[in-house]
Structure 1
Amino acid sequence: MMKVISVVGYKKSGKTALVSALVRELSGFGAVGTVKHMGEQRLNPEETDTGRHFDAGADMVIGITGSELVSFSRDSNLEDSLDMLCDRGLDFAVVEGFKDSKLPKIALGNLEGVSNVIMRLPENTDIHEELTASLVGMALAQPDRYTLDALIKKIRKNLTIRKVGAIGTFTGIVRELAGEEKTARLEFEKYEPEASKALDKIRDEIKQKEGILEVLIHHKTGVIEAGEDIVYIVIASAHRTELFPALSEAIERVKAEAPIWKKEFTEKEEFWVHDREHT
């Protein structure tokens, strides 16, 4: 799991200083990654060897020195960058910039037109111990971000891994085409805390089955576009014969027992699926 927080503000407002202070403090709680909006400047110029590789049409170029690894890729965005950090098993991501994102934000100065601001501070604010403690508390309170790779890494770090003979995963995605209907996106809303309690119950009960060593379940909320992931289930078992029935039971129970409502947006209409199934 990874917690994400963003720092936004105008140029020379003290964003980098605040991000650096936050990274220093959060590193005491876990591994930290950062993402910075760099504008239009080019970090991989054409006169370098890696720049020539990139300009020749490579979709991704990785440069390795004696102490650093840097990757350059095409058509990446903020969400891709955060998923890359999460895939690496990092605990925190601190984002500098991207004021138009939906991320929780610490806003510096009188920056307007930004959403999800959880704290406002003066430009070039004095960074003292009390402030950094407050910022760390805010970061720790943010919702967890997961990727499938991050969940698999979590299982591999489990002390029971020496007993594991198989790891199986289930990924539910937004199906775009169903017959002649075309779904543009889905919106999921959890009824909390009951939804989390239901997922924990499913996880705990399946984990009690013979040969099942670990069960992880993550169901996303909010708007999810066609083709994107909705739910991840990762199960570790001693043998493969125990694995597949447990995976099947887990997803069927998530759909049946967890109070997670689904709104569907098609080309013609939008509707809550729960309402339609009970009419």
Structure 2
Amino acid sequence: MKVISVVGYKKSGKTSVVSALVRNLSGFGTVGTIKHMGEQSLNPAETDTGRHFDAGADTVIGITGTEATGTELVSFSRGQNLEDALDLLCDQGLDFAVVEGFKGSNLPKIAIGDLQGVSNVVFRLPSDIDMHEELTASLVGIVLAQPDRYTLEALIKKVRKNPVTRKAGAIGTFTGIVRELAGNEITSKLEFEKYEPEASKVLDQIREELKQKEGILEVLIHHKTGVIKAGEDIVYIVVAAAHRGELFSALSEAIDRIKAEAPIWKKEFTEKEEFWVHDREHHEN
């Protein structure tokens, strides 16, 4: 799922830009949106769903309408943030997410006007911009160039959509996470850097070579970069195979080859120190 955020001052035209993007991106795939709505409450205490929430429910889902007229669903959850919302859209298998607001995030941003103090601005629009066809096409091109965001659920859905999985007897997954405790050492986070485009080429080669093995129908690999906190996910591997024996062998080979062959470097942050793991391994050998 490709993600873009549109940020600007209040009444700067953010919604018009978002609407133009959604209309045009829908020609390339499915689109979801997220909007920062300030402090307004959509689930006041006097409503039935509000009473459920105040009684201690962690998630409340309201459904309106009927099967004849069509239904709408709204979910209220405690302790959720922008990352959770993006993962929710990604889990649904959407191709694009357009975010309105959240100028403090690290998402790639289209900034409107002279808005300052925001990071990762990939394009800046003047205030009161006319969203003509040529400009909108340029913005769509920027969105299409953004890196893909994946969740494990999104990868599984992608595998299931592949017609070749009609021959599958099993789908298996591997999730690598940041280990917090290793002996007496406590790791708070890891930082990953990819040497591109070589890293992506190596991952693609591993995928294609595994798919040539007997019984292996599909292989998807996604390795995250940047800072990943203890307990969070690092890498996903999804394999569809005709039989479980072939599947388990492919999963094991995939992660072993990623660690050995892909130019992806890991920096570890413990309570005592921080270090690049490949540098330490090189000195120890």
Tell me, in whole angstroms, the C-alpha distance in 1 between the residues paired with 2:200 and 2:252: 20
Q: Which amino acid aligns with 1:60?
A: T
Task: Tell me how far 1:162 sits from its aligned partner.
Answer: 1.2
Give the structure 2 partner of residue 6 of structure 1. 5
Tell me how far 1:78 sits from its aligned partner.
0.4
Task: Check the 8 A contact 2:179/2:187 in 1, yes or no.
Answer: yes
Distance in 1 between residues matched to 2:145 and 2:83, nearest whole Å? 20
SS in 2 for 1:231: strand
1:148 maps onto 2:147 in alignment: no
What is the aligned length?
278
Q: Which residue of 1 aligns with 2:207?
A: 203
1:48 maps to what in 2?
47
Q: Secondary structure at the match of 1:42?
A: coil
Deviates more, 1:87-96 or 1:40-49: 40-49
TM (norm. structure 2) is 0.96
% same residue: 82
SS at match of 2:258: helix
Structure 1 unaligned spans of 5+? none
Q: C-alpha separation between the residues in 2 aligned to 1:75 and 1:123?
A: 34
Answer yes or no: is 1:94 the counterpart of 2:87. no
Note the residue ranges of structure 2 that are not aligned, 5 or more in a row: 66-70
Assess if the C-alpha contact under 8 Å between 2:14 and 2:100 holds in 1. Answer: yes
Return the match for 1:180 from 175, 180, 184: 184
C-alpha distance in 2, partners of 1:62/1:30? Answer: 27
Q: Which amino acid aligns with 1:10?
A: Y
Letter in 1 for 2:90: C
**How far, CA to CA, are the matches of 2:171 and 2:246 in structure 1?**
11
Residue type of the partner of 1:27?
S
Deviates more, 1:15-24 or 1:86-95: 15-24
- The separation in 2 between residues aligned to 1:202 and 1:138, in whole angstroms, is 29
Q: State the AA in 1 paired with 2:114.
A: N
Q: Partner of 1:78 in structure 2?
A: 82
Q: Provide the secondary structure at the position in 1 that maps to 2:143.
A: helix
Alignment partners' CA distance in 2, 1:269 and 1:110 = 41
- Partner of 2:57 in structure 1? 58
- Secondary structure (helix, strand or coil) at the match of 2:204 reads helix
Question: What aligned pairs does 1:105-254 form with structure 2 within 5 A after superposition?
Answer: 105-254=109-258
The answer (yes or no) to whether the contact 2:214–2:246 under 8 Å persists in 1 is: yes
Whole-angstrom CA distance in 2 between matches of 1:64 and 1:267:
47
- The CA distance in 1 between the partners of 2:145 and 2:56, in whole Å, is 42
Corresponding residue of 2:269: 265
Residue deviations 1:67-99 (CA, integer Å, cap 9, x gap): 211111000000000000000000000000000
State the match for 1:20 in structure 2: 19
- For 1:124 and 1:150, the matched residues in 2 are separated by 37
Normalised to the residue count of structure 1, the TM-score between the two structures is 0.98
Per the TM alignment, residue 55 of structure 1 is displaced from its structure 2 partner at its CA by 1.2
For residue 30 of structure 2, what is the aligned residue in structure 1? 31
Could you tell me which amino acid in structure 2 is paired with residue 216 of structure 1?
A: L
- The aligned amino acid for 1:15 is K
- Alpha-carbon offset, residue 124 of structure 1: 2.4
1:4-25 Cα shifts (integer Å, max 9, x gaps)? 0000011111111111111111
